[in-house]
Chain A
Amino acid sequence: MNVKETVSPVQMSTLFFIFMTGSAIINIPGPLIGFAKNGAWLSLLISSAFGFFALACMLYLHNKYPGSTYIDYAKKMVGPWLTALLSVPLILTMCHMASGIVLDMGLFLTTTMMKKTPIFVFNAFTFTLIAFTVRAGIEVMVRMFTNLILIMLFFVFIVLLLSIPNYHPDYILPIMPDGIKPVLHGAYFSFGFPFAESFLFAMLLPFAKKNPGKKYSLNRWMYIALLLNTVILILSVICVIFVAGPVSGDVKYSLYMVARLIDFQDIIQRIESVIGMTLIAGSYMKATVVLFVLNLTLNRLFALQNDRLLIFPLALITLFLSVVIFDSEIQWFDIVSSKWPLWIGAAGFVPLLLLTLIASCKQK
Chain B
Amino acid sequence: MLIRLAIVILIIAVVLVFDAPNYKKSNKRGRAVYGISITAAIYLGLDYAAGKDWPDLHNVADFIFSAPAKMITTYFESKS
Contacts and interface: CB of A to CB of B under 8 A. Distances in A.
Interface of A: 35, 92, 95-96, 120, 124, 178-182, 184-185, 188, 298, 302-306, 308-310, 312-314, 316-317, 319-321, 323-325, 327, 335, 337-339, 342-343, 346
B60 A338 contact: no
Contacts of B8: 320
Contacts of A321: 44, 56-57
Given A316-B44, A317-B40, A320-B45, 9 more contacts: A35-B76, A92-B60, A185-B73, A188-B76, A298-B33, A303-B29, A317-B41, A321-B44, A324-B54
Most chain B beta carbons < 10 A, residue from A304, A309, A316:
A316
A335 B25 contact: no
Nearest to A298: B33
A304 B33 contact: yes
Contacts of A320: 8, 41, 44-45, 47-48
Most chain B beta carbons < 10 A, residue from A179, A305, A308, A339:
A339
Contacts of A120: 4, 7, 48
Contact of B69 (A178, A310, A323, A339): A339
Contact of B34 (A95, A313, A343): A313
Contact of B41 (A302, A313, A325): A313
A135 B45 CA distance: 23
B44 A310 contact: no
Given A303-B29, A306-B30, A338 B38 contact: no
Helix, strand, loop or mixed for chain B's interface?
helix
A323 B48 contact: yes
A304 B30 contact: yes
B55 to A, nearest CB: 10
A316 B39 CA distance: 11
Interface residues of B, number: 46
B72 interface: yes
B11 A316 contact: yes
A262 to B, nearest CB: 34
A181 B61 CA distance: 25
Interface string B29-66: 11001100110110011011000011011101110011
B33 to A, nearest CB: 5
Contact of A316 (B12, B58, B75): B12
Contacts, number: 117
Given A184-B76, A342-B69, A343-B65, A324 B44 contact: yes
Given A180-B80, A182-B76, A312-B18, A343 B37 contact: no
B56 A335 contact: no
B6 to A, nearest CB: 13
A92 B60 CA distance: 10
Contact of B72 (A96, A306, A325, A338): A338
A185 B41 contact: no
A-B pairs with the 6 shortest C-beta distances?
A: A320-B44, A185-B76, A313-B37, A316-B41, A179-B80, A338-B69
Contacts of A327: 53
B51 to A, nearest CB: 9
Contacts of A96: 57, 61
Contact of B26 (A309, A323, A343, A346): A309
Contacts of A324: 44, 47-48, 53-54, 56
Nearest to B45: A320
Contacts of A181: 75-78, 80
B27 A314 contact: no
A210 B15 CA distance: 37
Contact of A325 (B15, B56, B68, B78): B56
